[in-house]
Amino acid sequence: MAPFNILVVDDSVFMRKIISDLISENPQYKVIGTAKNGQEAIEQVKLLSPDAVTMDIEMPVMNGLDALQRIMAEQPTPVIMLSSLTQEGASETIKALEWGAVDFIRKPSGSISLDLYKVKQLLHEKLHMAVRTKLRPFLPFQQQPLSTWVNQTTLTKSKVGMMKPPDTKLAAIPGSTHFDHLVAIGTSTGGPRALHQVISNIPAGFPAPILIVQHMPPNFTKSLAQRLNDISQIQVVEAAEGDVLQTATAYVAPGGWHMIVYKDHKTYKIRLTKEDPRSGHRPSVDVMFESLLGMSELKRHIVLMTGMGSDGAKGMLSLKQSGVATTIAESEETCVVYGMPRAAVEIQAAMHVLPQQDIAVRLAQCVLN
């Protein structure tokens, strides 16, 4: 089998050499070209048609974000971003994932560091996924008009008055610690874009808390929560130990910590733990899902979206068997990687299989009826 062709983009000669050498250590991959800025990257993608691209973010002439948008618009190609560990780097990486990058790799310590050798195995894993990703047409995010919410969801007059359409930014509606419904979402590769689509379409005043596990390292989950909060009608925060769950609020599990929910008298709270990773992940979707098993007094709505592997599938099945209200798997047509949802579908854990753009509406139907 011929090796997969990879284009390496970085403004540092040293880093281009390091990354190229790391990639070439695996006979499955061949570096067919390099570029020192975003403009050259666009030209090389058109000329060489690589199977995947590694792309630095901060570069002269044209940065990696601008180049990514051009590539996804003109010749969609799987792109893995190289991200710095700074807060700004994390924020830019989240934007890149929303705009079409399939995944990212952290630079361990600055743009020119021998520490990058530490990520060789991770780089090969990301490339293995990227070259097998079937990119679909890169469509803008879809927002649901008010007519969709009213026509597709049976609402009482009081609920219509409370809910606000997700088409303009509104002042946050205060959350309540009293609720009958709870939503839990798990996702991995492709998750930031999927979460943008779903969470941005949850209306203000949504009468349930939302728990989110996204496989992502520390610092990046904070940037993800901030980004989702900026584009959403509900409040989105990175979860903290002891947080009391409230309606109209989404809680993102912090990187490096499992997130579980427990009941403390009449309130539900978040506990963060450093227990061993599950299926290689901390946070783990299964760990979060399993913490909801005993809460039969709540109508629980469980969602699995795009991602590699099977984290969350067994937990979803256990919840379905325990009598939860709803289980939803994202359909293959909108997944970047149809792994986690596929696993749930194969073991018959999913009651509904829906494209990404329909998940928020279905959740509204389930929670508001």
So which residues are the catalytic ones? Answer: 188, 215, 311
Angle between helices 64-74 and 87-98 (to 10 degrees): 10
**Which one, of 134, 198, 211, 176, lies nearest residue 355 by Cα?**
198
CB neighbours of residue 139 within 10 Å:
9
d(CA 132, CA 340): 16
The token pair that represents 62 in the structure block: 């044209």
Question: Are the C-beta atoms of 60 and 33 separated by less than 8 Å?
Answer: no
d(CA 213, CA 57): 25
Q: Which amino acid is at 48?
A: L
Which helix (H) or strand (E) segment holds residue 288: the answer is helix 285-290
In the chain, the N- to C-terminal Cα span, in Å, equals 54
State phi, psi for 276 to the nearest 5 degrees: -55, 145
d(CA 184, CA 77): 32
State phi, psi for 153 to the nearest 5 degrees: -125, 130
Residue 83 three-state SS:
strand
d(CA 57, CA 340): 28
**Which one, of 268, 124, 261, lies nearest residue 253 by Cα?**
261
d(CA 330, CA 333): 8
Q: Which amino acid is at 288?
A: M
CB neighbours of residue 280 within 10 Å:
10
- Residue 60, preceding bond cis, omega within 30 degrees? no
Q: Which residues pair with 211 in a beta bridge?
A: 184, 251
Could you say which DSSP state residue 6 is in?
E
